[in-house]
Amino acid sequence: MLAAEELIHVVGKGETIYSISRFYRVTPDELMKLNSISDPSKLQTGKRLTIPSSAFSDITITTNPPAPAVQALTDYRVLKGDTLFSIAKKHDISLQRLQEINNFSSSHVIKVGDIVKVPGQPKSNTAQSAPAPGKSTGTTGLPGILALRWPVNAKEISYMTGQMGVVVEGEINEAVKSLTQGKVISAGPWRKFGKVAIVEVAGGYFYMYGGCDTLSVNVGDKISPGTELGKLGVNAVSEKPQLFFMVFRSDIPIDPAKAPRAGGNSRT
C-alpha cells in the first residue's frame, strides 16, 4: 500500500515539461512552479514530478449514456506464409489496427500456429474450442460492452463527457487489475479520482486506473497483465464503488472499449 500524499510522475525518455503538462491538462507554468523548475530544458529522465491538483479538471462524468457498439473479434490461427500485413489485409483492416487489437509492438513476429485476434465472425481458419461445462457462449458473437474484459468485473458502465474515459461500477475492495503489461509512471491520490495508477504501455499508450482506495504498486514498477494495481474504493459523490478508466495514445484519449488488451478484449 502506498503512503503517498500526492500524484507523482516519473519523467520518461524524450518527455518535456510541455508534453507532460499537456498530458495532465495543466499549464507548463503550473508544473514548473510546483516542482521549482526554472529551466525546462534541463529536465532529466527519471526525475520525479509532483502533478498539480488541477490535473484533468476539464473532465466530468455523464450519467449512463448509451454504450457504443463494439466490434466482434474472433481467433485466427496463423498459417505458413502469413504475415501481420497479409492477415490485416485479408480482414480489411490496417496493420496498425491489427497491432492495436492484439497489443503487438511494431517489431512483433508471428509464427505458424499462433492465435491472432481479428474482426468478424468465425471462418474456416478460425481457432475454435468447446465452451467449458456450464459456461455461456452468449458473448462469442458481437459482444456487448459489459462482455469485454475490464480492470474490475463490470456491473455497469458509463462514459465521461466527450468519451474521455469510462466509469466502471464494481465491488467494494475488489482488486483492480492491469489489462496489459507496462510500467507504472504515475501513482498517488488525485483530487476527484481517488488514488490513481497510470501505466505506460508499448505503442505510445497510457492506461489510467482511478478510483482506488489503496494502491498496490509504486512508480517505476514493471507489471504484467492481471497484476493487481490496487483495491477499488467508493466514489464519494455517487456512493458507489467505481473505477475511472481512461486510455490515451500519446496525449489523445481513445475509447477504452477499443483499447488493446493482452489476449484480446473478450472475457471469454
* Digit-coded pLDDT (tens) for 12-48: 888 899 988 988 888 999 999 999 999 999 899 889 9
CATH of 73-143, one of 2.60.120.560, 3.10.350.10, 3.40.50.720, 3.40.50.1370: 3.10.350.10
Q: Quick one: CA dihedral 29, 31, 36, 42, positive or negative?
A: negative
* β-strand partners of 177: 228
Report the chain's mean pLDDT, rounded to a whole number: 80
C-alpha angle 182/186/188, rounded to 5°?
130
Q: Cell numbers 503512503 correspond to what residue? A: 3
Query: DSSP for 171-230?
Result: -TTPEEE-SS-EEEEEEEE-GGG-EEEEEEETTTEEEEEEEEEEE---TT-EE-TT-EEE
Q: Cell numbers 458507489 correspond to what residue? A: 240
Q: Considering the chain, tell me which residue range(s) the CATH 3.10.350.10 domain(s) occupy.
A: 73-143
Q: How many residues does the chain have?
A: 268
DSSP secondary structure code for residue 47 in this structure: -
Average pLDDT over residues 111-139: 53
What's the CATH fold of domain 8-65+147-258?
Glucose Permease (Domain IIA) (2.70.70)
What's the CA gap between 156 and 63, in Å, rounded?
A: 11
Q: Are the CB atoms for 131 and 29 separated by under 8 Å?
A: no
Question: What's the confidence (pLDDT) of residue 62?
Answer: 54
Which residues have C-beta within 8 Å of that of residue 229, sequence separation ≥ 6? 151, 176, 177, 178, 184, 197, 199, 209, 212, 215, 216, 217, 223
Distances (CA, A) of 188 to 58, 217, 251, 253: 19, 10, 20, 21
Please tell me the pTM assigned to this model: 0.65
Give residue-wise pLDDT tens across range 199-233.
999 888 999 999 999 999 999 899 999 999 999 99
Average pLDDT over residues 255-259: 87
For residues 150 and 120, which has the higher predicted lDDT (pLDDT)?
Answer: 150
Average pLDDT over residues 83-107: 83
Q: Which three cell numbers stand for residue 188?
A: 498517488
Q: Considering the chain, tell me which residue range(s) the CATH 2.70.70.10 domain(s) occupy.
A: 8-65+147-258
For residues 173 and 7, which has the higher predicted lDDT (pLDDT)?
Answer: 173
What's the CA gap between 29 and 40, in Å, rounded?
A: 10
